[in-house]
Chain A
Amino acid sequence: MNTDALKDLLYRLADDQLILGHRNSEWNGLGPILEEDIAFSSMAQDKLGHSLQLYTLLHQLGEAEPDTVAFTRNAPQFHCAQLVELPIGEYDFSLIRHFLYDHAEILRFEALSHSSYEPLAQVARKLKGELKYHTLHANTWIKQLGSSTEEAIERLQNSLNYTLPYALGLFEKTAAEDDVISEGIFVGEDEIRARWQENITKLLSQTALNLPDLTTLTPVYGGRFGEHTEYLQPLLDEMAEVFRVDPTAEW
């Protein structure tokens, strides 16, 4: 098995979950209603748990301890898509990001549950069950708000238009792509993107929102290769603040 390709895939998966998990946690105490405060906080906790399981797989492949990997790297060493590092903005943006991201994520882990790398398949089988609640949550709100008032529809449509190029960046390929496919580790980005497009199209068609023609959009790439927005490093500095002061601290 090509271990480098496997590690590349695991870093992309884990970093996406960690960074979006952190962003989701920023809604703690700020949600527009109590239930949303709790929902984003719960999804944050799930996603941090998912990243821990994936960093643990990396550790078993010879990488550093999960906490070290999570808290001591700087932005250029992160493999997350730029989508997940963007600030939480207004609720309409966070909801659209959550919808676009989690629909891709659940497909990834459904596919990975058949991975030829059994430890990853085991983790994926666990995670995909938890992710069902994330897509259920996103779908419920997109359907309700996406068919409600003029303001809600306009806000969501603007956020959708703004976020889609970043969401397409989730499917950026790396040098590992051919190897993970040929070795049966993962079905590959094109496959996931096609299924994702089908699923979000189906859901959005039940709302007043319009999905632009995705072929006319330019995906925001670079994240998988360590190119990030100005927002990632401050997030990492904040997330790692305690660890960097005292790596043995428990909190």
Chain B
Amino acid sequence: MDKATILTWLEAVKDPEIPVLSLVDLGVIRDVVIDESGRVTVKMTPTFSGCPAMDYMQRDVVQTLQAHGIANVTTEMSFEEPWDTNMVSEKGREALKNFGLAPPPTYEGILDLDILEYAQCPFCNSQNTELRTPFGATLCRSMHYCNDCRQLFEQFKPV
């Protein structure tokens, strides 16, 4: 049992609100530490501080590793390395787009919310879209409208 194997197993744990996105690709699993006694600690960081899915994510991590025979496993939530949407992997971005959710635009330095106005439609790839509201069905989504294919769509909002 090593860290790489455990990370592969954790690929199976999905975000309960976005079932195509693994926690590894979402970027909330920051590290896996195995001590000499075989005890596994999965270090995680929350997406949004009020996200109700975080409890489920921790439980799913523990259950998944237990199913692979790791008896001694705990999760640790920390703000030490705060999550931002730049931590979503390329694979994760692709999965979001295929799910019909525009991936969060990457940014450098401090996030300027002007980039929210420029979501790309996940259905027709048009850039001719407008922000309808920065809040959506879950804390991590904003709502946009595509002027070309005339559909409302959601974006995983950048933070």
Contact = CB atoms under 8 A, between A and B. Distances in A.
Q: A and B, one complex?
A: yes
Interface of A: 35, 38-39, 41-43, 45-50, 52-53, 122-123, 125-127, 129-130, 132-133, 136-137
B111 A39 contact: no
A49 B132 contact: no
A249 B37 CA distance: 36
B153 to A, nearest CB: 15
Nearest to A132: B113
25 contacts: A35-B132, A35-B135, A35-B143, A38-B133, A38-B135, A42-B135, A42-B136, A42-B139, A43-B135, A46-B50, A49-B49, A49-B50, A49-B51, A50-B50, A52-B49, A123-B49, A123-B79, A126-B82, A129-B82, A130-B48, A132-B113, A133-B113, A136-B113, A136-B116, A137-B133
Contacts of B80: 122
Interface string B43-67: 0001011111000000000000000
A43 B136 CA distance: 11
A38 B136 contact: yes
Contacts of A133: 113, 134-135, 157, 159
Taking chain A's interface residues, is the majority helix, strand, or loop, or is none over half, making it mixed? Answer: helix
B80 to A, nearest CB: 6
A48 B50 contact: yes
A129 B135 contact: no
Contacts of B51: 49
Contacts of A127: 49
A45 B139 contact: yes
Nearest to A45: B50
B84 interface: yes
A183 B157 CA distance: 36
Main secondary structure of the interface of B (DSSP, over half): loop
B159 A130 contact: yes
B50 A126 contact: no
Interface string B125-138: 00000001111110
Contact of B49 (A39, A41, A43, A126): A126
Nearest to B80: A122
B133 A39 contact: yes
Nearest to B157: A133
B132 to A, nearest CB: 7
A38 B139 CA distance: 10
A49 B143 contact: no
Interface in B110-131: 111, 113, 116
Nearest to B85: A129
A123 B83 CA distance: 11
Nearest to A133: B134
Nearest to A46: B50
Contacts of B143: 35
Contacts of A129: 82, 84, 111, 159
A137 B134 contact: yes
Given A35-B132, A35-B143, A130-B159, A122 B50 contact: no
A141 to B, nearest CB: 10
Contacts of B46: 126
A58 to B, nearest CB: 15
A133 B84 CA distance: 14
Contact of B79 (A46, A122, A132): A122
Contacts of B83: 126
Given A125-B82, A126-B82, A132 B50 contact: no
